Structure 1
Amino acid sequence: MISRDKTFWAGFFLALLGAVLFSAKGVVVKLTYRYPDVDAVTIIGFRMLLSLPFFLAVGWYQARKARLGLIPKLTFTQKWQLVVLGFIGYYLSSFLSFLGLQTISAGLERVVLFLAPSFVLLISALYLKRAIAPRQWLALALSYGGVVFVFLNDLTHVGDGVVVGVAYVLASAISYSLYLIGSGELIKKVGATRLVAYAMSASTVFTTIQFLWIHSWQGLYQPWPVYQLSFVHATVNTVLPTFMIMWAVARIGAPMTAQLGLIGPVSVLFLAAWILHEPITPLQLVGTAFVLAGVLVLGRRA
């Protein structure tokens, strides 16, 4: 029982910290956008290219362990599953999200992305036959209520092409949900660390092809601060949280990890106020309290 409790709380706090670090990329991206000739493709491309050495190093170590017989070797099917997860998880979902941001506000985009935990819960219940606990529904209701409060003002400021933009972000949320569920199943066979290393390396291939297709090698000529911010984006906001989130999925499952991820974007409010000097309204504080209440409900042991 003690061992299971330790496993739960380790996964719980890994999911929280991973969500905060992953969501903090929004602040780094805003800082990077201040430089000319930087677009979404450049940011995604630099993020993945600078994080690739870390994933390759971990992947090489995992492959070496497989050659020595310390862990099972990957089957042909598992290799293709990792490629597909890399495509839908950190390439397709990110790219669709950025496409949506061209026509809708950032606030609306984040609200739509918060549907991901619902998708994870519902798909898990329908196709994997996993029951949804009452406290998960309660936590989800509290968290969504908080999200509505936090981004209520943003919902009133949208322009043309809202339907198309929302459709892109909705597809992004579904893509990331499928990634979490697929990862939760494959983790049992290949392990969280190996899954992240290989899937993210595959994602980098797709991202690099897109970057070179649009900007060619000339796109690499950027001011030094862009490289500095991109390195932070790659390490603190990509490498660390992706491993943390997958380690959390291995311990507490994809549905709960997805729900705990709701704390991430809310935490950005305080980071943005601190670093970007953006104001925090009373409505946002009320919403934050709701989201934190949802997290506490999830953390309460049955």
Structure 2
Amino acid sequence: MSTSQTYSTRQRKTALMWAILGALFFSTKAILAKLMYREGADGVDVLTLRMIFALPFFIMIGLWARRSQPYQMTRNDYVQVCVVGFFGYYIASLFDFLGLQYITVGLERLILFLTPSMVLIISKFFLKKNIDVKQWLAMILAYVGIVLVFWHELEVGGSNIALGSALVFGSALSYATYLLMTGELVKRLGATRLVAYAMAVSTVLCLMHYVVLRDWHGLLSKNAVVYGYSLLNALLCTVAPVVLTMLAVARLGSPIVSQVGMVGPVATVGMGYFFLGEPVTTTQLMGTALVIVGIFLVGKVAGQSKSIQAK
């Protein structure tokens, strides 16, 4: 049964609003991280505090999901959850927050937005999947946009832009790996349960990271503003987007929700200007447009290919 037959027009409009809010809330993560940097925190602090505050909510979500889908996990399932938690929410998040210390929120969001193209490229070279010529052209368009924005920021921001961009690119690559690894696992556990468990694994890894590399008291000595931003980062930018996106996917389907997610880069550029005072230039807007159009076309061609195969 299709989504349109299952839900009314009003319910689908509500789900569309959920998808938009989810994309906007998730994009706010970079803004809050930048504000925390101004208060003396760094990428490791931001990540660790985010995970600590978010963990109780994901534990509750995981318990609820386990009751609603009582699948008995095997030892191999637990191992896979640990692996995807490492790549998807520990390494990806760590590289992202570290990279944000050196680049603007607009460039960070654009690089992360390349994740679907990375999934396709990895699938091509490691899983021997075919990529349509139109998809190659669309990906080239998106990467030209990234190069345009990157080159512009490199000219005005200095050498650290390259380091920050490389770290965020590594974040996107790690998350693309996570997406490819979760195919069969998400069928057995369900998306909600998998995300909750992977977040729990990531939290443990973040805490171990902090304890090994730093004095634990440093995390407890942050000011109230940092803790307030961390709580917002956990609730508004981590838990809420996951819940809203999953609710939207249930009513609209993942293709529509992924297209709605394209408001993220544009919103991030706007929020960076209003909340952080980051400049908005013609070159940046041109590059942003190229990336959004390129990734949109990648998804559109993929959707057409699946429809043809289904027929």
Q: Same fold (TM over 0.5)?
A: yes
Residue deviations 1:24-46, cap 9 Å, x none? 2111111112213x222211111
| Shift in CA distance, 161/231, structure 1 to aligned 2, threshold 3 Å | closer
Residue deviations 1:42-92, cap 9 Å, x none? 111110000011101011222334xxxx53221211111111111111111
Look up the match of 2:272: 272
Look up the match of 1:44: 47
Look up the match of 1:32: 36
Task: Please say which of residues 108-117 and 151-160 is displaced more in the overlay.
Answer: 108-117
Task: Please say which of residues 273-282 and 81-90 is displaced more in the overlay.
Answer: 273-282
Query: Which of 45, 53, 56 is 1:53 aligned to?
Result: 56
| Separation of aligned partners in 2, 1:206 and 1:172 | 16
Q: Secondary structure at the match of 2:182?
A: helix
* Identity in percent: 40
Shift of 1:274: 2.4
| Separation of aligned partners in 1, 2:183 and 2:248 | 10
| Separation of aligned partners in 2, 1:184 and 1:63 | 19
Q: Does the aligned pair in 2 maintain the 1:100–1:166 contact within 8 Å?
A: yes
Q: Does the aligned pair in 2 maintain the 1:114–1:144 contact within 8 Å?
A: no
Task: Please say which of residues 290-299 and 235-244 is displaced more in the overlay.
Answer: 290-299
Q: Structure 1-normalised TM-score?
A: 0.77
Q: Does the aligned pair in 2 maintain the 1:96–1:169 contact within 8 Å?
A: yes
Look up the match of 1:175: 174
Mapping for residues 104-115 of structure 1, pairs under 5 Å: 105-106=103-104, 113=112, 115=114
Q: Does the aligned pair in 1 maintain the 2:23–2:261 contact within 8 Å?
A: yes
Q: Does the aligned pair in 1 maintain the 2:92–2:170 contact within 8 Å?
A: yes
Q: Does the aligned pair in 1 maintain the 2:19–2:261 contact within 8 Å?
A: yes
In the alignment, residue 52 of structure 2 is paired with which amino acid? L
Q: Does the aligned pair in 2 maintain the 1:143–1:262 contact within 8 Å?
A: no
Q: Does the aligned pair in 1 maintain the 2:110–2:291 contact within 8 Å?
A: no
| Shift in CA distance, 98/22, structure 1 to aligned 2, threshold 3 Å | same
| Separation of aligned partners in 1, 2:48 and 2:4 | 40
Q: Structure 2-normalised TM-score?
A: 0.75
Mapping for residues 9-88 of structure 1, pairs under 5 Å: 18-36=22-40, 38-65=41-68, 70-88=69-87
| Shift in CA distance, 78/176, structure 1 to aligned 2, threshold 3 Å | same
Q: Does the aligned pair in 1 maintain the 2:42–2:98 contact within 8 Å?
A: no
Q: Does 1:121 pair with 2:120?
A: yes
Residue deviations 1:163-189, cap 9 Å, x none? 776654443332111111112332122
| Separation of aligned partners in 2, 1:15 and 1:181 | 22
Shift of 1:273: 1.8
Look up the match of 1:211: 210
| Shift in CA distance, 24/133, structure 1 to aligned 2, threshold 3 Å | farther
Q: Does the aligned pair in 2 maintain the 1:23–1:268 contact within 8 Å?
A: yes
Shift of 1:156: 2.5
| Separation of aligned partners in 2, 1:116 and 1:189 | 24
Residue deviations 1:250-292, cap 9 Å, x none? 9548xx95x8766533431111122233332222333343344
Q: Does the aligned pair in 2 maintain the 1:12–1:299 contact within 8 Å?
A: no
Q: Does the aligned pair in 1 maintain the 2:117–2:295 contact within 8 Å?
A: no
Q: Does the aligned pair in 2 maintain the 1:58–1:194 contact within 8 Å?
A: yes
Task: Please say which of residues 184-193 and 262-271 is displaced more in the overlay.
Answer: 262-271
| Shift in CA distance, 149/264, structure 1 to aligned 2, threshold 3 Å | farther
Task: Please say which of residues 179-188 and 243-252 is displaced more in the overlay.
Answer: 243-252
- C-alpha RMSD of matched pairs (Å): 3.8
| Separation of aligned partners in 2, 1:132 and 1:14 | 32
In the alignment, residue 180 of structure 1 is paired with which amino acid? L
Q: Secondary structure at the match of 1:206?
A: helix
